[in-house]
Amino acid sequence: MSGVIAPAVSSTTDLRGAHLSRALRAVHSSPQALSRADLARRLGCTRATAGALVADLERLGLIEQKDVIVSGGRGRPSTLLGPSANGPVVVAVQIGTDAVRAAHVPLTGGLVDAQTRPLRSHAVDDVLAVVREVLDSRLDALGARVAGVGIAVHGLVDGVSGEVLSAPGLGWAGPAVDVLGWLGFRSEQRTHVGNVATLVAVAESVRGRAVEDADGVGQADDSGSGSGGTVLVLHADVGLGGALLMDGRAVTGRRGLAGEYGHLPFGTRDRVCRCGARGCWETEVDQVALAREAGLTAAPGAASAAADVVLAAMTSTAGGVSSGDQVRSAGGWSPEGDTEPVRTAGAVSAVPGAADLADGQVQVDPQRAADAVHRAAVSLGRGIGALVLVHDPDLVLLSGHAAELLRAAPQVVREAITADGGGRSGLFGAGYGVPPVQEIALGADAGLVGAAEAVFGALLDDVSLLTTGWVRS
Ligand SMILES: [Zn+2]
Does 376 lie in the same domain as 266?
yes
Give me ligand 1 centre to Cα 49, in Å: 53
User: How many Cβ atoms from other residues are within 10 Å of residue 206's Cβ?
Assistant: 23
| Res 433: pLDDT | 86
Among 44-48, 183-187, 300-304, the minimum mean pLDDT is found in 300-304
Give me ligand 1 centre to Cα 416, in Å: 22
User: How many Cβ atoms from other residues are within 10 Å of residue 126's Cβ?
Assistant: 11
In the predicted structure, residue 150 carries a pLDDT above the cut 80: yes
Give me ligand 1 centre to Cα 437, in Å: 24
d(CA 107, CA 258): 28
Does 431 lie in the same domain as 317?
no
User: How many Cβ atoms from other residues are within 10 Å of residue 223's Cβ?
Assistant: 9
Non-local (6+) Cβ contacts of 304 within 8 A are 97, 98, 237, 238, 287, 330, 401
- In one letter, which amino acid is 10? S
In the predicted structure, residue 208 carries a pLDDT above the cut 80: yes
Q: What is the CATH number of the domain that holds 168?
A: 3.30.420.40
d(CA 239, CA 253): 20
Residue at 281 is within a domain: no
Give me ligand 1 centre to Cα 206, in Å: 30
Give me ligand 1 centre to Cα 285, in Å: 12
Residue at 3 is within a domain: no
Q: Is 320 exposed, middle or buried (0-12, 13-18, 19+ CB in 10 A)?
A: buried
Mode of pairing for the β-strands spanning 112-118 and 99-106 = antiparallel
Give me ligand 1 centre to Cα 282, in Å: 7
**In 3-state terms, what secondary structure has residue 230?**
strand
In the predicted structure, residue 316 carries a pLDDT above the cut 70: no
Does 271 lie in the same domain as 386?
yes
| Res 424: pLDDT | 61
| Res 78: pLDDT | 79
Give me ligand 1 centre to Cα 96, in Å: 18
| Res 140: pLDDT | 94
Give me ligand 1 centre to Cα 262, in Å: 7
| Res 81: pLDDT | 92
In the predicted structure, residue 255 carries a pLDDT above the cut 70: yes
Give the pLDDT confidence of 169-182 residue by residue, as tens digits. Answer: 899 998 999 999 99
Q: Compute the residue count for the chain.
A: 473
- Helix, strand, coil share of the chain (percent; to 5): 40, 20, 40
Number of structural domains found in the chain: 4
In the predicted structure, residue 391 carries a pLDDT above the cut 80: yes
The pLDDT of 252-272, averaged and rounded, is 94
| Res 364: pLDDT | 85
- Determine contact, residues 362/346, Cβ cutoff 8 Å: yes
Does 266 lie in the same domain as 142?
no
| Res 216: pLDDT | 42
In the predicted structure, residue 420 carries a pLDDT above the cut 90: no
Last residue of a domain, one of 54, 83, 112: 83
Does 18 lie in the same domain as 68?
yes
φ, ψ (nearest 5 deg) of residue 414: -65, -40
Does 105 lie in the same domain as 199?
yes
| Res 300: pLDDT | 58
| Res 176: pLDDT | 96
| Res 473: pLDDT | 56
In the predicted structure, residue 31 carries a pLDDT above the cut 60: yes
In the predicted structure, residue 332 carries a pLDDT above the cut 50: no
| Res 355: pLDDT | 38
| Res 3: pLDDT | 33
In which band, very low, low, confident or very high, does the pLDDT at 283 lie, cut at 50, 70 and 90?
very high
- Determine contact, residues 170/97, Cβ cutoff 8 Å: yes
d(CA 243, CA 197): 7
Which candidate, 17, 393, 33, places its Cα nearest to that of 242? Answer: 393
Residue at 377 is within a domain: yes
Does 106 lie in the same domain as 204?
yes
Last residue of a domain, one of 326, 343, 364: 364
In the predicted structure, residue 10 carries a pLDDT above the cut 60: no
Average pLDDT taken over every residue of the chain: 83
d(CA 291, CA 278): 19
| Res 423: pLDDT | 60
Give me ligand 1 centre to Cα 379, in Å: 15
Non-local (6+) Cβ contacts of 396 within 8 A are 231, 232, 233, 234, 384, 387, 388, 435, 436, 437, 438
Does 144 lie in the same domain as 105?
yes
Does 462 lie in the same domain as 316?
no
| Helical (H) or strand (E) element with 457 | helix 446-459
Residue at 218 is within a domain: no
Give the pLDDT confidence of 70-101 residue by residue, as tens digits. Answer: 666 566 677 899 999 999 999 999 999 889 99
In the predicted structure, residue 103 carries a pLDDT above the cut 60: yes
| Res 322: pLDDT | 39
Give me ligand 1 centre to Cα 280, in Å: 5
d(CA 189, CA 44): 28
Does 451 lie in the same domain as 435?
no
| Res 224: pLDDT | 36
| Res 337: pLDDT | 34
In the predicted structure, residue 226 carries a pLDDT above the cut 80: no
In the predicted structure, residue 156 carries a pLDDT above the cut 80: yes
| Res 425: pLDDT | 76
Residue at 255 is within a domain: yes
d(CA 309, CA 304): 9
Among 76-80, 229-233, 313-317, the minimum mean pLDDT is found in 313-317
| Angle 124-125-129 from CA coordinates, rounded to 5° | 120
In DSSP terms, which residues pair with 1 in a beta bridge?
none
Does 376 lie in the same domain as 247?
yes
Residue at 6 is within a domain: no
Q: Where are the beta strands (DSSP E) in 213-335?
A: 230-237, 239-246, 249-250, 296-297, 321-322
Residue at 222 is within a domain: no
User: How many Cβ atoms from other residues are within 10 Å of residue 34's Cβ?
Assistant: 22
Residue at 215 is within a domain: no
Give me ligand 1 centre to Cα 143, in Å: 41
Give the pLDDT confidence of 340-362 residue by residue, as tens digits. Answer: 332 333 455 554 333 333 334 67
Q: Where are the beta strands (DSSP E) in 238-318?
A: 239-246, 249-250, 296-297
Give the pLDDT confidence of 33-55 residue by residue, as tens digits. Answer: 999 999 999 999 999 999 999 99
d(CA 334, CA 211): 41
Non-local (6+) Cβ contacts of 273 within 8 A are 168, 263, 267, 279, 280, 282, 283
In which band, very low, low, confident or very high, does the pLDDT at 290 lie, cut at 50, 70 and 90?
very high
Last residue of a domain, one of 83, 118, 133: 83
φ, ψ (nearest 5 deg) of residue 427: -65, -25
Give me ligand 1 centre to Cα 274, in Å: 6
Give me ligand 1 centre to Cα 59, in Å: 51
| Res 70: pLDDT | 67
Q: What is the CATH number of the domain that holds 75?
A: 1.10.10.10
Does 203 lie in the same domain as 99?
yes
| Res 319: pLDDT | 39
The pLDDT of 128-147, averaged and rounded, is 95
Range of the domain at 268: 230-276+371-441
Give me ligand 1 centre to Cα 283, in Å: 8
- Determine contact, residues 34/27, Cβ cutoff 8 Å: yes
